[in-house]
Amino acid sequence: MDLGDILSPEQITADLKAANRWEAIDELIGNLVESGRIKPENKEAIVAVVKKRESSMSTGIGFGIGIPHASTDLIYEVVGAFGRSRRGVNFDALDNQPVTLVMLFLVPQGQFQKHLHTLAKIAKLLHKKEFRQALEEAPDAKAMYQIIKAESGK
């Protein structure tokens, strides 16, 4: 499963308002509710499971990347939302640098292999400097989606 399969232009926030990782998680999960990927009544429970996972260890992996993620029995397929912050989000990242690209994803409970596989693919893709740069320079969510779709299909 590629990043381009998980996302749509509606699931990309080109200008995150968040100042920290907790606000970024709230904002991206809000996006998943708005885009119809998760039910509004499940929002708080999903926010709680992602924040619990994030509390155990930051998913700020360096290079301006954050990948908050969790497993939940409230979804039936992998879902995700992508956000870009122009000013950077304090993510308590490994390299202590602000995070500008945040990929939040959720995997159905019990699909551990799919969870690891998705995480590895996203991390590998976001470690490409040219890819990150293209996303940071893209004018809007639609352009960002085109870049993701083109790169993740390779």
Number of domain units in the chain: 1
pLDDT digit string (tens) for 8-28? 999 999 999 999 999 999 999
Q: Which residues pair with 101 in a beta bridge?
A: 65, 84
Residues 28-66 have pLDDT tens digits of: 999 999 999 999 999 999 999 999 999 999 999 999 999
How far is 2 from 152, CA to CA, in rounded Å? 6
The pairing of beta strand 99-108 with beta strand 12-13? unpaired
Q: What is the per-residue pLDDT for 112?
A: 85
| Domain harbouring 33, CATH code | 3.40.930.10
The H or E element that residue 66 is part of is strand 65-66
For 112-146, write each residue's pLDDT tens digit. 888 888 888 898 999 999 999 999 999 999 999 99
Q: Domain range spanning residue 141?
A: 3-152
Its pTM stands at: 0.94
Which residues make Cβ contacts (< 8 Å) with residue 27, sequence separation at least 6?
Answer: 13, 16, 17, 18, 83
Catalytic residues: 69
Half-sphere exposure of 142 (CA within 13 A, CB side): 0
Place of tokens 């998980």: 6
